[in-house]
Structure 1
Amino acid sequence: MDVQVYISADMEGVTGLVDAHDVQLGGHDYEHGRVMMTEDVNAAIRGALSAGATRVLVNDAHSAMRNLLADQLHPEAELVRGKPKRMGMLEGLDGAFDAVMCIGYHARAGALGVLSHSYMGHEIEDMWLDDRPMGEIGFAQATAAAMGVPVVTLSGDDAACDEMNAWDARVVTAPVKYARDRFSARLRPATEARKAIEEAAAEGARRASRLRPPFTEAPSTLAVRWQSATVAAQLEVIPGVTLRDSRTAEVTEAVPQLFRLFGLFMRVAASLTDQRPYC
């Protein structure tokens, strides 16, 4: 089976991690969090390879995107590291891939999930795609699908897994922890969690050929409600962007273009705000 696998690796949904100090540069347990993230990704790589994957590309998709320990990553995988990236959390993905795996993902803003948020902590209050509430999971799934590549596997807490299956029930999920609240969880033992990731990745890779969606350039509408009206006002300057209200900016384009535009939205917001995520 000739399968090319793309892995987008976030950090909040990684085995054992529950707090900002686990996932933020300078946090007390961040260096340990990097090890845990690398091992979760390695489990997904092993699963993909066991199912016949011939190529695995990993994109470090968290924060500064320099979290994964390159020298400890599985030697048969390539790594995209650092930023800026035009496609952010999906940098390097194109129609040549057969499957996307989202490892270490988390639930959207407002959900009761571990470290739940949508891209920018407090700064983004909500997001919609064609009026459907979404976060990073929904946006990744919709963008990959528009490019003709199915999301086949996701790991994270139970809230993230439920969110993924609401977008596409065919995705194989691996819950590595069960949310008690936003900064607490019941954890699966690390060896058990990584076995679950490996098995989910293998099964997802095997299903990939049956799940491939058609490529589409059909337009969709992205709306983002910001905590600050200042951000929305500045975004309105971008051609095609309009305001639903003083804090909600929207734009209509093909979904991959929306994903790229949203990266620009975040750069504008970051230049105007100094909000620490998870505060």
Structure 2
Amino acid sequence: MRVYFSVDMEGITGLVDSHDVQPDGRDYEHGRLMMAEDVNAAIRGALAAGATGITVNDAHGPMRNLRSDLLHPVARLIRGKPKSMGMLEGLDDTYDAAICIGYHSRAGTSGVLSHSFMGHEIEDLWLDDRPVGEIGLTQATAAALGVPVVLLSGDDTACAEMTAWDSAVQTVPVKYARGRFAAELRPVAEARDAIEAAVNATLSGALPTGLPATGPTTLAVRWQSAAVAATLLDLPGVTARDDRTVEISGPLPDVYRQFRVWMTVATALTNQPPYC
């Protein structure tokens, strides 16, 4: 059994503020340690369930947060950027399951460090007119690649978002949001034990097979800046819904790859902090 881990940072045990998750933050090194230990707990659960191959993709920000010397020695680590598939780099249908560790809720929610991909620059996303964030777009793209997302860890709002998107996915809340930069934290040992046990139980059970075929899909993004939307209209296939909202249609994961290009364009045009 091959298992793929996509690891973000905002939903990691104990982390609540940008200083915990950004390279220039005063508590970033502590955040890196906490991130590695959540992943290691998940890896232990996967190994107990019989996993024979494990790949971990560092999916947060600069995508070089996880230290290989702190990671469980059985895991292969995908680190750094750019990556054409970003948070799902390296995923293909040779994997039996995908697991999301440390994920956060979408922009506009009250979850810890909530946003959608680019801090405040992306105000809203819709996948086939259904509101979506990193959680839903990751799940849908993984399914299009032939791999089911089977478990997610994060704060309680991220877990609720995952359940609303796909109720078949198991969730592990490691903290409970008390605002965008505050949370009630589960004790560290308790949270790690919960991750390990949930991964073990989920992978030991029957995994989804024969995922439904995905046809053309439409992704729409509302940007804070009208300049970003206007510039993206120069790309083939991109159309406008309004002055700040653009969309594109096509099969996943092609649409996901196109969205990665959109973010590169937006980054070149704007210079906003990820959280404020």
**TM-score tier after normalising by the smaller chain length:** over 0.9
Distance 1:39 1:124, change over 3 A: same
The match for 2:164 among 159, 166, 174 is 166
- 1:136-147 matched pairs, under 5 angstroms: 136-147=134-145
2:234 is equivalent to residue 237 of structure 1? yes
- What are the Cα deviations for residues 256-278 of structure 1, in whole angstroms up to 9, with x where unaligned? 11111111000000000001011
**Residue identity matched to 1:255:** L
Point out the more displaced range, 145-154 or 125-134.
145-154
RMSD: 0.9
Runs of 4 or more consecutive aligned structure 1 residues displaced over 4 Å after TM superposition? none
Q: Which residue of 2 aligns with 1:108?
A: 106
- What are the Cα deviations for residues 2-35 of structure 1, in whole angstroms up to 9, with x where unaligned? x110000000000000000000011010000000
Question: Take 1:262 and 1:26, find their aligned partners in 2: how far apart are those partners?
Answer: 27
Gaps of 5+ in 2: none
Alpha-carbon shift at residue 208 of structure 1 (Å): 5.3
Question: Take 2:210 and 2:223, find their aligned partners in 1: how far apart are those partners?
Answer: 32
Question: Take 1:146 and 1:275, find their aligned partners in 2: how far apart are those partners?
Answer: 32
| Alignment check: 8 A CA contact 2:43 2:72 kept | yes
Alpha-carbon shift at residue 243 of structure 1 (Å): 0.5
Q: Which residue of 2 aligns with 1:67?
A: 65
Alpha-carbon shift at residue 170 of structure 1 (Å): 1.4
Q: Which residue of 1 aligns with 2:147?
A: 149
Question: Take 1:200 and 1:236, find their aligned partners in 2: how far apart are those partners?
Answer: 44
Question: Take 1:163 and 1:267, find their aligned partners in 2: how far apart are those partners?
Answer: 26
Alpha-carbon shift at residue 214 of structure 1 (Å): 2.4
The match for 1:247 among 244, 252, 255 is 244
- What are the Cα deviations for residues 72-125 of structure 1, in whole angstroms up to 9, with x where unaligned? 100011000000000000000001101000000000001110000000000000
- 1:39-58 matched pairs, under 5 angstroms: 39-58=37-56
Question: Take 1:207 and 1:219, find their aligned partners in 2: how far apart are those partners?
Answer: 31
- What are the Cα deviations for residues 222-275 of structure 1, in whole angstroms up to 9, with x where unaligned? 000000000000111110000100000100011211111111000000000001
| Alignment check: 8 A CA contact 2:218 2:249 kept | yes
Once the two structures are aligned, what percentage of the paired residues are identical? 66
The match for 1:259 among 231, 249, 256 is 256
Gaps of 5+ in 1: none
Q: Which residue of 1 aligns with 2:196?
A: 198
Q: Which residue of 2 aligns with 1:4?
A: 2
| Alignment check: 8 A CA contact 1:98 1:208 kept | no
Question: Take 1:110 and 1:189, find their aligned partners in 2: how far apart are those partners?
Answer: 27
| Alignment check: 8 A CA contact 1:150 1:213 kept | no
Question: Take 1:156 and 1:217, find their aligned partners in 2: how far apart are those partners?
Answer: 27
| Alignment check: 8 A CA contact 1:171 1:204 kept | no
SS of aligned partner of 1:116: coil
Q: Which residue of 2 aligns with 1:128?
A: 126
| Alignment check: 8 A CA contact 2:222 2:245 kept | yes
Question: Take 1:256 and 1:80, find their aligned partners in 2: how far apart are those partners?
Answer: 19
Alpha-carbon shift at residue 217 of structure 1 (Å): 4.5
| Alignment check: 8 A CA contact 2:16 2:113 kept | yes
Q: Which residue of 1 aligns with 2:32?
A: 34
> How many residues were matched structurally?
276
Q: Under a length normalisation based on structure 2, what TM-score does the superposition of the two structures give?
A: 0.98
2:219 is equivalent to residue 222 of structure 1? yes
SS of aligned partner of 1:176: strand
| Alignment check: 8 A CA contact 1:43 1:195 kept | yes
2:123 is equivalent to residue 119 of structure 1? no
**Residue identity matched to 2:73:** P
Q: Which residue of 1 aligns with 2:23?
A: 25
| Alignment check: 8 A CA contact 1:114 1:157 kept | yes
Q: Which residue of 1 aligns with 2:175?
A: 177
Distance 1:268 1:78, change over 3 A: same
**Residue identity matched to 1:101:** I
Point out the more displaced range, 18-27 or 163-172.
163-172
Question: Take 2:209 and 2:220, find their aligned partners in 1: how far apart are those partners?
Answer: 27
